[in-house]
Amino acid sequence: MKRSRVLAVLVGGVFCVAVMSLYRMLELMQGAELQYRGAPPAGQVDDDLSRLQQKIDRLERLLSDNNRLVATLRDSLLHRKASWETGGGGGGGGVNVSSDSAHSRTDPLPGCRLAEEMKDGTDGVQLLDVYDLLPFDNPDGGAWKQGFEISYHGNEWDKQPLELFLVPHSHNDPGWLKTFDSYYQDQTKHILNNMLIKLSEDSRRKMIWAEVSYFSKWWNDIDEQKREMVKRLVGAGQLELVTGGWVMADEANSHYFALLDQLMEGHQWLQRHLGVKPSSGWAVDPFGHSPSMTYLLKGAGLSNMVIQRVHYAVKKQFARQQTLEFLWRQSWDSSSRSDITCHMMPFYSYDVPHTCGPNPAICCQFDFHRLPGGRVFCPWRVPPQPITEQNVQERALLLLDQYRQKSRLFRSPVLLVPLGDDFRFVESNEWDAQFSNYQKLFDYFDQHPELHIKARFGTLSDYFEALRRRLNAAETSLPTLRGDFFTYADRDDHYWSGYFTSRPFYKRLDRTLEATLRATEILFSLTLAEMRRFRGDGRLVADFPAREHFRHLTAGRRSLALFQHHDAVTGTARDPVVVDYGTRLFHSILNLRRVLQSSAHWLLLLDKSQYHHDQSKPFLQTDDVMAAQDALPQKMSLTLSDEPRSLIVFNPTEQLRTSVVSVIVDSPDARVVDAETGRPMSAQISAVWAEPSRASTEAFQLSFVAELPPLALVVFHVTKTSAGSAHRARYTVLHGGGPPSVHAEHFQVSRPQGAEADASLSLSNKHVEIWSSAQTGLLQKLRLQSGPVRQLQVQFLWYGTRTGANRDKSGAYLFLPGEEGAQLYSPSEPPLIRVSRGPVFSDITSCFRHFTHTVRLFHADGHAGRSLEISNMVDIRSEGNRELVMRLVSDVANGNRFYTDLNSFQMQQRRTLAKLPLQANFYPMTSAAFVQDAASRLTLLAAQSQAVAALRPGELEVVLDRRLQQDDNRGLGQGVTDNKLTASLYHLLLEDRRGGAQEVGGASVEHLSLLAHLTSLSLCHPPITMVTPGNSQLPKLHPFRPLRSSLPCDVHLLNLRTLEDPQEAESPSQEVALLLHRKGFDCSSAPEPPPPCTWSVHEEVNLDDLFSPLPLRSVRRSGLTLLRDDDEPESARQQQPPRITRLRPMEISAFRVEID
| DSSP notation for 1007-1053 | ---HHHHHHHHHHHS--EEEE--SSSPPPPB--B---SSPPPTTEEE
**CB–CB of 316/148 below 8 Å?**
yes
**Three-point CA angle 139, 144, 149, nearest 5°:** 80
301-317 mean pLDDT:
98
> Is-cis flag, bond preceding 1137, omega within 30?
no
224-253 mean pLDDT:
98
Mention every residue, 6+ apart, whose C-beta is less than 8 A from residue 742. 693, 694, 695, 731, 733, 749, 751
Query: Distance of alpha carbon 564 from its chain centroid, rounded?
Result: 10
Listed in order, strand segments (DSSP E) in 651-693 are 657-665, 670-674, 683-691
Task: Look at residue 552 and give its three-state secondary structure.
Answer: helix
Mention every residue, 6+ apart, whose C-beta is less than 8 A from residue 1142. 1099, 1100, 1101, 1149
What is the rounded distance in angstroms from the CA atom of residue 1033 to the CA atom of residue 1025? 20
What is the rounded distance in angstroms from the CA atom of residue 456 to the CA atom of residue 204? 8
| Residue closest to 737 by CA, chosen among 618, 849, 832 | 832
Q: Is the pLDDT of residue 77 over 90?
A: no
**CB–CB of 658/1041 below 8 Å?**
no
What is the rounded distance in angstroms from the CA atom of residue 370 to the CA atom of residue 419? 13
Burial class (CB in 10 A: 0-12, 13-18, 19+), 514: buried
What is the rounded distance in angstroms from the CA atom of residue 899 to the CA atom of residue 1000? 14
For residue 624, the cross-strand partners are 635
Predicted TM-score (pTM) of the model is: 0.92
Mention every residue, 6+ apart, whose C-beta is less than 8 A from residue 281. 242, 243, 293, 294, 297, 302, 304, 305, 306, 340
Window from 43-52, 179-188, 209-218, 961-970 with minimum mean pLDDT: 43-52
What is the rounded distance in angstroms from the CA atom of residue 976 to the CA atom of residue 967? 8
Mention every residue, 6+ apart, whose C-beta is less than 8 A from residue 30. none
244-257 mean pLDDT:
98
Burial class (CB in 10 A: 0-12, 13-18, 19+), 135: exposed
SS3 per-residue string spanning 383-399? CCCCCCCCCHHHHHHHH
- Residue 12 pLDDT grade (very low, low, confident, very high; cuts 50, 70, 90): low
Residue 1030: per-residue pLDDT:
75
**CB–CB of 833/777 below 8 Å?**
yes
Residues 743-779: tens digit of each pLDDT: 999 999 999 988 888 888 999 999 999 999 999 999 9
State in Å, rounded, how far the first CA of the chain is from the last one.
49
301-326 mean pLDDT:
98
**CB–CB of 845/863 below 8 Å?**
no
Question: DSSP string spanning 807-833?
Answer: S----SS---B-TT--EE---SSPPEE
Q: Given its phi and psi angles, is residue 860 left (phi above 0), alpha (psi -120 to 50 degrees) or beta?
A: beta
Listed in order, strand segments (DSSP E) in 709-822 are 713-720, 730-735, 749-750, 761-764, 768-772, 779-784, 789-799
H or E element that contains 554:
helix 546-563
Query: Distance of alpha carbon 403 from its chain centroid, rounded?
Result: 40
**CB–CB of 836/731 below 8 Å?**
yes
Report CA dihedral (387, 389, 395, 401) to the nearest 10 degrees: 130
What is the rounded distance in angstroms from the CA atom of residue 51 to the CA atom of residue 282? 57
What is the rounded distance in angstroms from the CA atom of residue 585 to the CA atom of residue 1074? 25
Radius of gyration over every alpha carbon of the chain, rounded to an integer in angstroms:
31
Residue type, 900: T
Residue 74: per-residue pLDDT:
46
H or E element that contains 232:
helix 224-235
Residues 720-753: tens digit of each pLDDT: 999 989 999 999 999 977 777 899 999 999 999 8
For residue 889, the cross-strand partners are 793, 955
Task: Look at residue 619 and give its three-state secondary structure.
Answer: coil
**CB–CB of 387/440 below 8 Å?**
yes
- Residue 18 pLDDT grade (very low, low, confident, very high; cuts 50, 70, 90): low
Residue 47: per-residue pLDDT:
57
Listed in order, strand segments (DSSP E) in 362-466 are 414-422, 453-457
What is the rounded distance in angstroms from the CA atom of residue 927 to the CA atom of residue 939? 10
Say whether 674 is catalytic: no
Residue 51: per-residue pLDDT:
58
Q: Is the pLDDT of residue 1131 over 90?
A: no
Residues 601-627: tens digit of each pLDDT: 999 999 999 999 998 899 999 999 999
The sign of the torsion formed by the CA atoms of 907, 908, 913, 916 equals: negative
Q: What percent of the chain has pLDDT over 90?
A: 83
- Pick 697 or 2 by higher pLDDT: 697
Q: Which of 285, 339, 978, 1126 is catalytic?
A: 285
What is the rounded distance in angstroms from the CA atom of residue 711 to the CA atom of residue 56? 19
- Pick 591 or 56 by higher pLDDT: 591
Residues 655-695: tens digit of each pLDDT: 999 999 999 999 999 999 999 999 999 999 999 999 999 99
Residue type, 956: L
- Residue 899 pLDDT grade (very low, low, confident, very high; cuts 50, 70, 90): very high
Residues 911-969: tens digit of each pLDDT: 999 999 999 999 999 999 999 999 999 999 999 999 999 999 999 999 999 999 999 99
What is the rounded distance in angstroms from the CA atom of residue 796 to the CA atom of residue 888? 9
